[in-house]
């Protein structure tokens, strides 16, 4: 089998997989990893996949090849595709699923990309890794860098990330830098400084990260024994939605699925440059200077992967639109109370998006629908407590309890 290459998404210029590059040297656009699929035998591959447990590395034939004897891994992937009996009934949908990627080792989908990204870092022989993050990437990178023995620097927007995520990055021993600005400022600093300071970037502009993330699409197809009709997914920096589309496309090209889902990319109203581009019918974003949303994970005004994700969503025949913070929190509660799943606000934006699609009759209730829940609810306890009824303080007596129960 041929080796994978890096290819510019715009001009097609190719680079060796051993070069440390995040964008095209000719035109400045993002790069993607091209895995050679021509010689892949779908029957053989199916047999191999089925003989291994569900996980990111189950799909190693479709992942970048490394010189390491084994990848840096904590058994990421293999997350539940939760069948939503109650929520489905409430919304009048027969086949509704939530892909609960909050069940990954550090509680978000980032681990799928990080196992590949950190393994690649070791493969390339780098010593220092860096990311900008709204929280989950920093938690994941800190954990995997610890496992790999690499020095880790994370840049977070000062005072703007959820407590659970911050505690993870700190506990795993990363150098945590609180940048005076928002996520976009932090990513800007990462990109500008990486070469000069010898830091390997593990944001989703690193073409190896999406390779790990595309395995969630493979898993869904394997769990359903076919592709879903629609996939609804939160969009922040735009890396994950594009990675899913890459996964569905590769499975389709090999012949492991027929058809592919429409992808609906959901953004929070106050941080929605990609949804706005769809609204206007243009293939270009206008960055938002001061993004605002309760879903801090997707509080991003200038998504680095905008071109990749707009193309992915368009090619899938889907679209992108917004939901309000109220809709996000109400969907988060609904999922927690009907399905027993505690998902973080950004993750709940996919379910808020589904409710809107049903309301507008933009999606058929007979479809097979998957909402992606990207992160665990325990990541952001503050917002959960703010959104819920206060605990009732009582004296430790049966009478006091009886009074409460009789209300
Ligand atoms: N959901 C969660 C829970 C996230 O943490 C993120 C992104 C997204 C959705 C959006 O994914 O950026 O690929 O479109 N979090 C990044 C971070 C930005 O730094 O943790 P995307």
pLDDT tens series, the chain, 407 aa: 688 999 999 999 999 999 999 999 999 999 999 999 998 999 999 999 999 999 999 999 999 999 999 999 999 999 999 999 999 999 999 999 999 999 999 999 999 999 999 999 999 999 999 999 999 999 999 999 999 999 999 999 999 999 999 999 999 999 999 999 999 999 999 999 999 999 999 999 999 999 999 999 999 999 999 999 999 999 999 999 999 999 999 999 999 999 999 999 999 999 999 999 999 999 999 999 999 999 999 999 999 999 999 999 999 999 999 999 999 999 999 999 999 999 999 999 999 999 999 999 999 999 999 999 999 999 999 999 999 999 999 999 999 999 999 98
Say how many Å lie between the CA of residue 130 and the centre of ligand 1. Answer: 16
Residue 271's closest CA among 236, 234, 239? 236
Q: Residue 297 Cα, ligand 1 centroid: separation in angstroms?
A: 5
Burial zone of 86 (CB within 10 Å; 0-12 exposed, 13-18 middle, 19+ buried): middle
Distance 72 CA to ligand 1 centre (A): 22
Helix pair 215-224, 239-254: axis angle to 10 deg: 50
Residue 342 CA to ligand 1 center (angstroms) comes to 17
Nearest one of 102, 40, 105, 97 to 72, comparing CA atoms = 105
Measure the CA dihedral 93/217/347/263, to 10°. -60
Give the integer Cα–Cα distance in Å for 144 and 348.
26
Domain boundaries, the chain: 1-34, 81-107+209-387
Phi-psi region of 75 (alpha: psi -120 to 50; beta: other; left: phi over 0): left
- Ligand 1 atom closest to 234 (CA): 9
Cα of 45 vs centre of ligand 1, distance in Å, is 31
Q: Is the dihedral of CA 196, 197, 202, 208 positive or negative?
A: positive
> What one-character-per-residue DSSP string does 205-249 give?
TSTTHHHHHTHHHHHHHHHHTS--SEEEEE-SSSHHHHHHHHHHH
What is the structure's pLDDT at 274? Answer: 98
Supply the residue whose CA is at minimum distance from atom 11 of ligand 1. Answer: 236
Q: How far apart are CA 376 and CA 288, in angstroms?
A: 27
pLDDT at 22: 98
Q: In three state form, how does the secondary structure of 352-396 look? A: HHHHHHHHCCCCCCCCEEEEEECEEHHHCHHHHHHHCCCCCCCCC
Nearest Cα residue to atom 19 of ligand 1: 133
pLDDT at 1 (0 to 100): 66
Q: Closest residue (by CA) to atom 6 of ligand 1?
A: 297
Instruction: Give the model's pLDDT for residue 2.
Output: 81
Contacts of 241 (CB under 8 A, 6+ apart): 233, 235, 263, 265, 309, 312, 313
| Placement of tokens 């027969």 in the chain | 94
CATH for 81-107+209-387, among 3.30.450.40, 3.40.50.1100, 3.30.70.1070, 3.40.109.10? Answer: 3.40.50.1100
Beta bridge partners of 98: 82, 371
Q: How far is the CA of 193 from the centre of ligand 1 (A)?
A: 22
Question: Which amino acids bring their CB within 6 angstroms of ligand 1?
Answer: 108, 110, 133-137, 204, 234-241, 297-298, 344, 346-347, 374-375
Helix (H, G, I), strand (E, B) or coil at 8: strand
CA count, 13 A, side-chain hemisphere, 183: 27
pLDDT of residue 189: 98
Task: Output the pLDDT for position 407.
Answer: 85
pLDDT score, position 272: 98
Spatial separation of the C-alpha atoms in residues 131 and 199, rounded to whole Å: 9
């Amino acid at each position: 089998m041929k080796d994978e290459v890096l290819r510019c998404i715009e001009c097609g210029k190719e680079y060796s997989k051993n070069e440390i590059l995040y964008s095209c040297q000719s035109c400045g656009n993002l790069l993607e990893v091209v895995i050679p699929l021509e010689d892949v035998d779908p029957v053989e591959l199916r047999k191999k996949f089925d003989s291994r447990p569900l996980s990111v590395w189950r799909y190693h034939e479709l992942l970048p090849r490394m010189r390491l004897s084994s990848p840096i891994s904590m058994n990421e992937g293999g997350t539940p595709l939760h069948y939503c009996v109650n929520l489905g009934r409430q919304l009048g949908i027969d086949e509704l699923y939530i892909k609960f990627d909050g069940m990954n080792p550090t509680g978000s989908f980032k681990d799928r990309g990080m196992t590949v990204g950190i393994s690649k870092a070791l493969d390339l022989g780098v010593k220092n890794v860096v990311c900008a993050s709204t929280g989950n990437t920093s938690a994941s990178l800190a954990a995997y860098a610890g496992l790999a023995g690499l020095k880790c620097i994370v840049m977070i927007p000062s005072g703007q990330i959820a407590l659970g995520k911050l505690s993870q990055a700190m506990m795993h021993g990363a150098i945590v830098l609180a940048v005076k600005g928002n996520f976009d400022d932090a990513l800007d600093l990462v990109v500008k400084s990486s070469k000069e300071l010898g830091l390997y970037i593990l944001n989703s502009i690193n073409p190896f990260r999406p390779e790990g993330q595309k395995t969630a699409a493979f898993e869904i197809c394997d769990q359903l024994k076919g592709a879903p009709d629609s996939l609804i997914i939160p969009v922040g920096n735009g890396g994950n939605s594009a990675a899913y589309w890459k996964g569905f496309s590769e499975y389709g090209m090999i012949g492991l699925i027929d058809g592919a889902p429409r992808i609906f990319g959901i953004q929070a109203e106050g941080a929605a440059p990609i949804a706005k581009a769809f609204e206007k019918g243009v293939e270009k974003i206008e960055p938002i200077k001061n993004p605002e949303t309760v879903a801090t994970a997707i509080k991003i005004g200038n998504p680095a992967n905008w071109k990749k994700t707009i193309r992915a969503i368009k090619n899938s025949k889907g679209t992108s639109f917004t939901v309000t913070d109220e809709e996000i929190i109400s969907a988060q509660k609904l999922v927690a109370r009907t399905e027993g799943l505690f998902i973080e606000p950004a993750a709940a934006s996919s379910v808020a998006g589904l409710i809107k699609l049903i309301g507008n009759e933009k999606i058929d209730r007979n479809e097979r629908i998957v909402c992606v829940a990207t992160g665990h609810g325990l990541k952001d306890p503050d917002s959960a407590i703010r959104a819920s009824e206060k605990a009732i303080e009582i004296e430790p007596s049966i009478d006091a309890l009886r009074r409460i129960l009789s209300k």
